[in-house]
Structure 1
Amino acid sequence: MSITLGQYIFERMNQLHVKTIFGVPGDFNLLLLDYISKVPGMRWAGNANELNAAYAADGYSRVTRLGCIVTTFGVGELSALNGIAGAYAEQVGLVHIAGVPATSSQNNRLLLHHTLGNGDFTVYRKIKMSAHLLNVNVMLKDITTAPSEIDRCIREAYIHQRPVYIGLPTNLVDIEVPRSLLDTEIDLTLPETNAAAEEEVVSRVLDLIKGADNPIIIVDACCARHGCRGEAQKLIELTQFPTFTTPMGKGAVNESHPRFGGVYLGDLSSPDVKEFVNNKADLIISLGAVLSDFNTGAFTHRFSTNDLIEVHSDYTKIRNATYERIQMKHVLNTLLGKIGSAIKDYKPVELHFPSLKQKIPSASGTGKVSQEYLWKAVAKFFREDDIVITETGTSSFGIVQSKFPNETLGISQVLWGSIGYTVGATLGALMAAEESKKPSRRVILFIGDGSLQLTVQEISTMCKWNLKPYLFVLNNNGYTIERLIHGEKASYNDVQPWKHLKLLDLFNAQDYENITVNTDKELDELFTDQKFAKNDKIRMIELHLEEMDAPISLIEQANKTSQTNAS
């Protein structure tokens, strides 16, 4: 009839299909960790460090919509903070549980380890940065209200797609609460919408669509984060409006759809996309926009307030008017039900985007691997349902040139841009993919040799769980993105060369394959090899690239960033 609070919190996560808990053990969370194994089907990942665990929980959440990390008080939670910040910036639902000292220790202000020696046990969760990074920040103290507080935190993380913090004192973990509380599911319905404002929004949107000759749709990251991919796809199908994504939104729509035009990146877009969006579109319907520098081509996007509708997760902006408390999912569903009358006279324009139909250049057999060849050739390796993860730098800019098959999930950290993020995120995505019961679902990482050195330990966790990713290491002898911005020959952009193909052996992988690629022909043969295409083992693929070779969009972005920094 009862259940411990420690098991209760994991039972609640399990009800929302969170099957893997990330983190590092510490003396203030050990009692709590005992209860993970008591929940059928749940596992403890056991990460190399808390930063990687936060990255992993982030990557897991991008596949499943919610992730969970457990750290210990003070040293553990601060180590995870950078990863938590990335989840906040990029709107990723994440529950951070910190095992903290017993309430009696806190009340008596004991001089415990992991404190600052001043008796203040609230300092870590109340430091300015932490307070800003958490949608909800709770320290449990009363067992009678603890279950409802846990439910509230989980609900906030899921609905608003932001991190939340739950401080769980050691003395509360084993105290029992009524098991019947689990019978009532956590309410995940969206907050009440402003009905009058929504009605006005839909009315104005319909009027603007009626008056437009060349409306377009741009789908961005927050549309996918907040579970609106289906609504976006229905809008494309119903309207037949030309549709584009941003780098952050890549993979959010079906890129094989005949109305898909490509990736819009302001002035750094391919010439045909730039011309169409900037000069032909007379109405832009933007879904979940994140107008950051790396997502807009250094703010070169041409969005005029006179022809712009911005639909965000909890508000909508039409021209200069902002309507608060308007849920994206609500307003899109209402719009879908009424849009027929507004588009009855619309005649779909013929689309011709040469950049989408570029032929993959032939391998020379003698030419070195280049960024230009890599990102076009890799498209033939991708298949439906892949998870493609690209590190900040040449990878996240280069992948824009690659066409994704339908149902491909793209993961990158374009806004927060913490180098090394993708190794942990790959682990999280792998574990989420494994739980999806789709054994053929592949997880493919592209990371530079410099970024890899920050978080390489998490490959060890992949080996521990016998996971089977494709780990493409782009070896260009250091931080190329930084060299392009400043300090091309500076020693601070160098890294110690590693023997990357020794890593899987070092981490005691049981079934693995090491591959080195020096020429475009070798790369072409790899991407057409049917044995290589089967994800039956962990693979490390080292691609040797020229030091200053980079996608043209990154070169242009770096130049603009350099100018911005100088000014």
Structure 2
Amino acid sequence: MTSTDIATQELENPMDLSEYLFRRLYEVGIRAVHGVPGDYNLAALDYLPKCGLDWVGNCNELNAGYAADGYARVKGISALITTFGVGELSAMNALAGAYSEYVPIVHIVGQPNTRSQKDGMLLHHTLGNGDFNVFNKMNAEISCYVAHLKDPRDAATLIDSAIRECWIRSRPVYITLPTDMIKAKVNGDRLKQPIDLSIPKNDPEKEDYVVDVVLKYLQAAKNPVILVDACTIRHRAMEEVQKLVEASGLPTFVAPMGKGAVNETYPNFGGVYAGDGSNPGVREVVESSDLILSIGAIKSDFNTAGFTYRIGQLNTIDFHSNYVRVRYSEYPDVNMKGVLRKVVERMGKLNVTSSPPINNKLPASEQNSSSQTITHAWLWPTVGQWLKERDIVITETGTANFGIWDTRFPAHVTAISQVLWGSIGYSMGACQGAALAAKEQKNRRTILFIGDGSAQLTIQELSTMLRNKLNPIVFVICNEGYTIERYIHGWDATYNDIQTWDYAAIPKVFGADAGYQARRIKTRDELNALFADQEFNNPTSLQLVELYMPRDDAPAALKLTADAAAARNK
């Protein structure tokens, strides 16, 4: 009798490892698992239904990774299953994006059995050199925690630790599941104790000191403002920020990656700050402030319109998940959530100035225009007038990512984009994951704006949406190719051109039923009529709209950012 057999006999409630893993996923709110089947994960997939989990079944692993990203941004965490080597490598681009943008995905990789790995057998999906650790090493660089389930005696502990780290640090984790571990026995009684997902509390003395320092500068400031960015969302500090915005009344702005982090119907919401790419009037207010409460900032090039921020550290207090920086003094191991709560409680009277007006009115150049051409300056305020509360709005890298800056959201809108990683085609996969999460949450619309060039990379996920009976509204912006690349370099170069597709017909090829609707919109009147169509506004199945826009038109912020990128590339 082996030591493993003896250990199993000692368990009061033995449970198959795969069941334990999937029940833990269900516990943290996951209801569907993305991925692609492969021979090293097939037996594990059999456990999904008994654990209350649906299998999505994507067209390829890259798209599955994008979809898991979109699902996690709506639900808070997601799961992805791939197979050894070929599958996990196909998903790596998506997981790298999730890592860079703080998106929590539990990535489970089915592996050959442990004996085959130990013996270095010449198996399929390997590099043929007997090295079974090479892909582990690759994934470790884009994961915040790695769990190799090689021994039943510590497997359950490793699973719990991986899921906790994924949630707390809001980044992907990597779990390997060899085929001979799928049915290995672990202690099922552990499930009686939920995984502790609470954030470690700050040292009270240190936290109080930081709060006092913050309040000293905040109460002395003549015109303080709040600037909210993506890590507010990723590290689940939106409730604390909302209370700060409400209680303080201070002019509040979001960075592009922070869209959706603040209720934009608040009277003190002032729009998007992105340096020279800011909404009208915003740059002047933010950059003239004598104190900026910067919450969850990610100061990347596209998030700052080509590094055109003009904010001095001397006038800034930075709040993050693991430190607070007050001017040039940094306080490590202090989470922003506790600090923000106490700042609100002890705030006192502040000097409050007015915010620049932000609305969805058309710019002056478009208000009296008789043109029927759909331009970006006209489109994005018009979209803002059409959106509803609780919508999920997804924008692709390119014109849509920058155009949405000019849209004021209704309350409780979730915005999804990939401003930092910027992998084109991401948003189609993310739309599938987000639409599935929206279906679980009931009565939420999922709306995607994607360029025709980007759509060609991941169009297959329309098939997955149909298969899972999802009902997103997908706008394909037809403007003849890669617009953002044209503005950076190669305006008339053939490498920025694409083949024209009949996008509206593609879902039919994928088997769309009678409920599917496709439309081609080329004028403003046609789009206004579509936005007034109640059947379109409350879809029960996939809706796809070809939205025709000029090849040479782009949001002003994109043009400025592209110019900056072109200059850096020289």
Tell me the TM-score range normalised by the shorter chain: over 0.9
In 2: Cα distance, 1:148 partner to 1:352 partner: 52
Aligned to 2:566: 562
In 2: Cα distance, 1:556 partner to 1:178 partner: 58
Aligned to 1:367: 372
TM-superposition CA deviations, 1:274-326 (whole Å, max 9, x none): 111112x1100011000001111111112111110000111111111221111
Residue 508 of structure 2, aligned match among 495, 505, 510 = 505
Q: What SS does structure 1 have at the residue aligned with 2:346? A: helix
In 1: Cα distance, 2:420 partner to 2:525 partner: 34
In the alignment, does 2:327 pair up with 1:319?
Answer: yes
In 2: Cα distance, 1:12 partner to 1:328 partner: 28
Bigger mean CA offset, 477-486 vs 319-328: 319-328
State whether residues 270 and 358 of structure 2, in contact with CA within 8 Å, keep that contact through their aligned partners in structure 1. Answer: no
Residue 68 of structure 2, aligned match among 27, 45, 57 = 57
TM-superposition CA deviations, 1:248-274 (whole Å, max 9, x none): 001111111000011001011134111
State whether residues 365 and 520 of structure 1, in contact with CA within 8 Å, keep that contact through their aligned partners in structure 2. Answer: no
In 1: Cα distance, 2:360 partner to 2:292 partner: 21
Q: Which amino acid aligns with 2:198?
A: T
In the alignment, does 2:153 pair up with 1:144?
Answer: yes
Aligned to 1:532: 536
Identity %: 47
Q: What SS does structure 2 have at the residue aligned with 1:285? A: strand
In 2: Cα distance, 1:78 partner to 1:194 partner: 41
Runs of 4+ that moved beyond 4 A: 354-366
Give the C-alpha shift of residue 199 in structure 1.
Answer: 2.4
Aligned length, in residue pairs = 556
Aligned to 1:186: 195
Aligned to 1:406: 411
Aligned to 1:19: 31
Q: What SS does structure 1 have at the residue aligned with 2:106? A: strand
Q: Which amino acid aligns with 1:523?
A: L
Give the C-alpha shift of residue 363 in structure 1.
Answer: 8.4
- Aligned-residue CA RMSD in angstroms? 1.4
In the alignment, does 2:223 pair up with 1:211?
Answer: no
Bigger mean CA offset, 190-199 vs 110-119: 190-199
Change in Cα spacing, 1:373 to 1:517, as seen in structure 2 (3 Å) is same
In the alignment, does 2:176 pair up with 1:167?
Answer: yes
Change in Cα spacing, 1:44 to 1:445, as seen in structure 2 (3 Å) is same
In 2: Cα distance, 1:79 partner to 1:49 partner: 8
Give the C-alpha shift of residue 351 in structure 1.
Answer: 3.1
Aligned to 2:8: none
In 2: Cα distance, 1:470 partner to 1:320 partner: 46
Q: Aligned runs of 1:112-261 on 2, under 5 Å?
A: 112-127=123-138, 130-261=139-270
Q: What SS does structure 1 have at the residue aligned with 2:253? A: strand
TM-superposition CA deviations, 1:145-187 (whole Å, max 9, x none): 1001000000000110011000111001012222211101001
In 2: Cα distance, 1:491 partner to 1:355 partner: 39
Aligned to 1:32: 44
Q: Aligned runs of 1:349-368 on 2, under 5 Å?
A: 349-353=353-357, 358=362, 361=366, 367-368=372-373
Q: Which amino acid aligns with 1:504?
A: P
In 2: Cα distance, 1:540 partner to 1:351 partner: 37
Give the C-alpha shift of residue 355 in structure 1.
Answer: 6.3
Q: What SS does structure 2 have at the residue aligned with 1:133? A: coil
State whether residues 194 and 324 of structure 1, in contact with CA within 8 Å, keep that contact through their aligned partners in structure 2. Answer: no
TM-superposition CA deviations, 1:103-132 (whole Å, max 9, x none): 1101111111111111111111113xx322
In 1: Cα distance, 2:369 partner to 2:538 partner: 26
State whether residues 223 and 351 of structure 2, in contact with CA within 8 Å, keep that contact through their aligned partners in structure 1. Answer: no
Give the C-alpha shift of residue 347 in structure 1.
Answer: 4.1
Aligned to 2:95: 84
Give the C-alpha shift of residue 209 in structure 1.
Answer: 0.7
Give the C-alpha shift of residue 225 in structure 1.
Answer: 1.1
Residue 271 of structure 2, aligned match among 255, 258, 262 = 262
Aligned to 1:493: 496
Residue 66 of structure 1, aligned match among 49, 52, 77 = 77
In 2: Cα distance, 1:87 partner to 1:140 partner: 23
In the alignment, does 2:276 pair up with 1:276?
Answer: no
Give the C-alpha shift of residue 525 in structure 1.
Answer: 1.4
In 1: Cα distance, 2:435 partner to 2:318 partner: 33
Q: What SS does structure 2 have at the residue aligned with 1:301? A: coil
Q: What SS does structure 2 have at the residue aligned with 1:138? A: strand
In 2: Cα distance, 1:117 partner to 1:499 partner: 43
TM-superposition CA deviations, 1:397-452 (whole Å, max 9, x none): 0000011000000000000000000011001101111111x1x2100000000000
State whether residues 23 and 51 of structure 2, in contact with CA within 8 Å, keep that contact through their aligned partners in structure 1. Answer: yes
In 1: Cα distance, 2:224 partner to 2:297 partner: 17
Structure 2: tracts of 5 or more residues without a match: 1-12
Q: Which amino acid aligns with 1:348?
A: V
Residue 552 of structure 1, aligned match among 551, 556, 559 = 556
Give the C-alpha shift of residue 335 in structure 1.
Answer: 2.0
State whether residues 403 and 555 of structure 2, in contact with CA within 8 Å, keep that contact through their aligned partners in structure 1. Answer: yes
Q: Which amino acid aligns with 1:153?
A: A
Q: What SS does structure 2 have at the residue aligned with 1:97? A: strand
TM-score scaled to structure 2, two decimals?
Answer: 0.95
In 2: Cα distance, 1:156 partner to 1:406 partner: 31
In the alignment, does 2:432 pair up with 1:421?
Answer: no
Structure 1: tracts of 5 or more residues without a match: none
In 2: Cα distance, 1:134 partner to 1:175 partner: 25
In 2: Cα distance, 1:474 partner to 1:507 partner: 20
Bigger mean CA offset, 330-339 vs 29-38: 330-339
Give the C-alpha shift of residue 366 in structure 1.
Answer: 5.2
